[in-house]
């Protein structure tokens, strides 16, 4: 019961969560029982980087695990790390990089917790090579309100292992986890950057570069219309073979207050995107940069979510299966550009065919598009229904970790395993997202 209430990263929907902080693993069972008894149900809360309502408890009382941030075991010869679920990926990297290890899979922010990475089975720029985060989880400790503490791995409690990876925190409290790290010889990235004129070129580049590089992602100009639709900048890279092993310093730069209105509007967006696109080279140019600007450009500005003003924002992230990807992406980008809204932060990424271990994992073979929109009531009534139709017809799906709007029927169609997760859900845990899409 610490001082201030918590919101999700998008600050929408605005349901402040009362945090009940747990500082020691020993205190977890008691706190869980107590919360379930007084408030009906609860939900584990990490570092608050889920965008929509998947991290909001139905009861609005969350079990805050950010202070369960201890390391339990580190095996630097084999690159195996065991830690409590509240450690952030940033904490892990600060320890692992100087010893020659990196996360096998990392999303676009290092400010998420280990527990959150598992519960959302996050993916990153090397999905085509390594699959999702869950593939590198060796085992974890799960606390359930009825059964108590369980050890879950591919060999033990397999059903709960699969249901917990990408299980949105509903199968129990992830107390700790052991992950396999990736060896690196340098913390620098040897990157190749090139701009492209449209989606056809994006897919050609992705074909070529995904074979050559471990990491690849594209920034898309979501304001571009007509012939320029789908233009963007492709960034591919590998860890360099030499150049030192240094964890990046934590930044002090941040957005100190929430401005009264969103600073993102169609005027600022057009101007910014035009300049950004033009400053990148036409042909593939080699570049060397630190891992932090390559993987985590937005982490350089703390609390960047505040630029959208007090109403917050929503992220739309969908996955379109391979065969439909190009035509559906074209339709999505045209619909977004003609709506006049959107944001600078638009990302296109191809996912490979490596299977996700989780029952409800989002990634699958295909292409994923992610972009942010300043919150407005028209989003849910006009633009998102149009986009949802395109995604539905292409057989695609939306990412629960980013979502605050998807229809229950779309969710249940896209994630047919949801009933198996519901059967394994801990009755003491429930989220606003889960209530919304399953009833």
Partner 1 sequence: MKRILIIGATSAIATACARAWAEQGAHFFLVARNPHTLSQTATDLSARGAAACHTYELDVTRIDDHPAMLSSCLDTLTEIDIALIAHGTLPDQTACEGDAPLAVEEFNLNATATIALLTILATRLEHQKSGTLAVITSVAGDRGRPSNYVYGSAKAAVSTFCEGMRARLFKSGVHLIDIRPGFVATPMTQGLPLPALLVAQADSVAKRILNGIEHRTDVLYAPGFWAWIMLIIRTIPRPVFKRLSL
Positions that interact with partner 1 (CB under 8 A)? 1-4, 21, 23-26, 70-74, 81, 83, 95
The least CB distance from residue 247 to partner 1, in Å, is: 10
The least CB distance from residue 17 to partner 1, in Å, is: 16
Distance CA 139, CA 244 (A): 31
3-state helix, strand, coil in the chain (%, to 5): 35, 25, 40
Question: Distance between terminal CA atoms of the chain?
Answer: 30
Give the position of tokens 């630190």.
Answer: 290
Nearer to partner 1, 76 or 408 (CB): 76
Nearer to partner 1, 114 or 364 (CB): 114
The least CB distance from residue 1 to partner 1, in Å, is: 5
The least CB distance from residue 15 to partner 1, in Å, is: 20
Nearer to partner 1, 24 or 393 (CB): 24
HSE toward the beta carbon, residue 278, CA cutoff 13 A: 7
Dump the DSSP string for 223-254: T--GGGTT-EEEEEEEE-SSS---PPPPP--B
**Which strands form 313-321's sheet, in the order they lie side by side?**
285-290, 188-196, 232-239, 215-220, 346-351, 366-374, 313-321, 397-398
Distance CA 112, CA 72 (A): 18
CA distances from 392 to 380, 382, 396, 433 (A): 16, 16, 6, 19
Nearer to partner 1, 69 or 382 (CB): 69
Distance CA 200, CA 46 (A): 39
User: Where does 30-84 show beta strands of DSSP type E?
Assistant: 44-45, 61-64, 71-75, 80-84
The least CB distance from residue 284 to partner 1, in Å, is: 39
The least CB distance from residue 250 to partner 1, in Å, is: 10
Nearer to partner 1, 70 or 386 (CB): 70
Nearer to partner 1, 68 or 394 (CB): 68
CA distances from 377 to 43, 123, 374, 383, 427 (A): 28, 30, 10, 10, 33
* H or E segment and range at residue 198: none
The least CB distance from residue 70 to partner 1, in Å, is: 4
Distance CA 37, CA 31 (A): 10
The least CB distance from residue 212 to partner 1, in Å, is: 36
Query: For the chain, what is the radius of gyration of the CA atoms?
Result: 21
User: Among 365, 369, 334, 333, which residue's Cα sits nearest to residue 349?
Assistant: 369
The least CB distance from residue 153 to partner 1, in Å, is: 20
Nearer to partner 1, 4 or 377 (CB): 4
User: Among 11, 10, 68, 60, which residue's Cα sits nearest to residue 40?
Assistant: 60
Nearer to partner 1, 250 or 413 (CB): 250
In the three-class reduction of DSSP (H, G, I as helix; E, B as strand; rest coil), residue 217 is classed as strand
Please state, as a whole number, how many other Cβ atoms lie within 10 Å of the Cβ of residue 33: 12
The least CB distance from residue 176 to partner 1, in Å, is: 10
Distance CA 198, CA 219 (A): 12
Nearer to partner 1, 250 or 288 (CB): 250
The least CB distance from residue 117 to partner 1, in Å, is: 18
Nearer to partner 1, 251 or 327 (CB): 251
Nearer to partner 1, 19 or 232 (CB): 19
């Amino acid at each position: 019961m610490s001082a201030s209430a918590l919101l999700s990263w998008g600050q929408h929907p605005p349901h402040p969560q009362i945090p009940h902080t747990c500082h020691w693993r020993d205190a977890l069972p008691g706190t869980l029982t107590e919360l379930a008894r007084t408030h009906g149900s609860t939900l584990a809360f990490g570092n608050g980087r889920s965008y929509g309502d998947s991290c909001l408890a139905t009861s609005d009382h969350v079990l805050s695990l950010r202070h369960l941030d201890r390391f339990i075991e580190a095996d630097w010869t084999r690159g195996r790390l065991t830690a409590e679920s509240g450690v952030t990926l940033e904490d892990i990297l600060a320890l692992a990089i100087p010893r020659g290890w990196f996360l096998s899979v990392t999303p676009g922010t290092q400010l998420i917790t280990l527990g959150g990475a598992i519960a959302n089975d996050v993916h990153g720029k090397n999905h085509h090579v390594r699959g999702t985060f869950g593939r590198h989880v060796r085992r974890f400790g799960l606390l359930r309100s009825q059964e108590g503490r369980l050890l879950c791995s591919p060999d033990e409690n397999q059903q709960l292992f699969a249901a917990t990876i990408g299980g949105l925190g509903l199968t129990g409290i992830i107390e700790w986890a052991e992950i396999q790290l990736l060896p690196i010889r340098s913390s620098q990235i040897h990157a190749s950057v090139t701009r492209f004129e449209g989606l056809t070129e994006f897919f050609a580049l992705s074909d070529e570069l995904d074979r050559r590089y471990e990491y690849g992602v594209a920034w898309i100009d979501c304001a571009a219309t007509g012939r320029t639709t789908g233009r963007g900048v492709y960034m591919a890279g590998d860890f360099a073979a030499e150049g030192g092993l240094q964890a990046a310093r934590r930044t002090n730069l941040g957005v100190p207050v929430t401005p009264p209105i969103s600073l993102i509007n169609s005027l600022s967006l057009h101007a910014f995107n035009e300049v950004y696109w033009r400053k990148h080279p036409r042909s593939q140019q080699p570049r060397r940069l630190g891992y932090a600007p390559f993987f985590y450009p937005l982490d350089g500005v703390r609390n960047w979510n505040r630029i959208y003003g007090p109403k917050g924002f929503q992220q739309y992230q969908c996955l379109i299966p391979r065969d439909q990807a190009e035509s559906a992406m074209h339709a999505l980008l045209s619909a977004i550009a003609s709506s006049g809204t959107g944001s600078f932060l638009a990302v296109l990424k191809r996912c490979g065919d490596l299977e996700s271990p989780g029952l409800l994992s989002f990634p699958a073979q295909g292409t994923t598009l992610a972009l942010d929109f300043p919150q407005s009531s028209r989003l849910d009534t006009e633009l998102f229904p149009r986009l949802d139709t395109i995604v539905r017809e292409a057989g695609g799906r939306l990412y629960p970790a980013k979502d605050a709007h998807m229809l229950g029927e779309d969710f249940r169609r896209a994630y047919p395993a949801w009933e198996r997760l519901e059967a394994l859900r801990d009755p003491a845990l429930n989220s606003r997202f889960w209530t919304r899409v399953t009833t």
